[in-house]
Amino acid sequence: MADENIRNKAQAESTATAVWRGSLVDGKGEITESGSGAFGHLPVTWAARTTDANPEQTTPEELLAAAHAACYAMAFSHALAGAGSPADQLEVKATVGFDPKAGGGMEVSFSHLDVTGTVPGLDQAKFAELAHKGEAGCPVSNALRGNVQIILHANLA
């Protein structure tokens, strides 16, 4: 019942569906659809998660990196605009680490956000300060925080 109460209070929900066939190592899967229809039919395999030998196949970590980069870009743009310095452009690259976990298994170990921005009238120190404020307000960062190391590098273009 508690889970339903949380869902009833959500302002918005996002969905995606994945289908997996076979074992972890030999199987394969696909992200078959997203609730928005913006993407679907994305192939996933275990090998894509652990080697670079599987082009055109995504991984949960790559999707997490995409989500973190997009979310952070929005949160940082909000922090900049709130400080009276809207960005002309922000480019955010997120790199997510996937590593062996102590005691066995695997884990997402870090998410490294590397942002470069064009913000007229702002110096590097203020840009970095607001970059950290944006990270603190990013919902994906807040979902990861305490479980995954978040690294932030911010540079003016």
Q: What pLDDT score does 4 carry?
A: 64
pTM, two decimals, is 0.92
Domain boundaries, the chain: 2-50, 60-156
Per-residue pLDDT in tens (0 to 9) along the chain, 157 residues: 556 666 677 889 999 999 999 999 999 999 999 999 999 899 999 999 988 766 789 999 999 999 999 999 999 999 999 999 999 999 999 999 999 999 999 999 999 999 999 999 999 999 999 999 999 999 999 999 999 999 999 999 9
SS (H, E, C) the chain: CHHHHHHHHCCCCCCEEEEEECCCCCCEEEEEEECCCCCCCEEECHHHHHCCCCCCCECHHHHHHHHHHHHHHHHHHHHHHHCCCCCCEEEEEEEEEEEECCCCCEEEEEEEEEEEEECCCCCHHHHHHHHHHHHHCCHHHHHHCCCCEEEEEEEEC
Intra-chain end-to-end CA distance of the chain, in Å:
50
- Written out in words, the top-level CATH class of the domain with range 60-156 is alpha beta
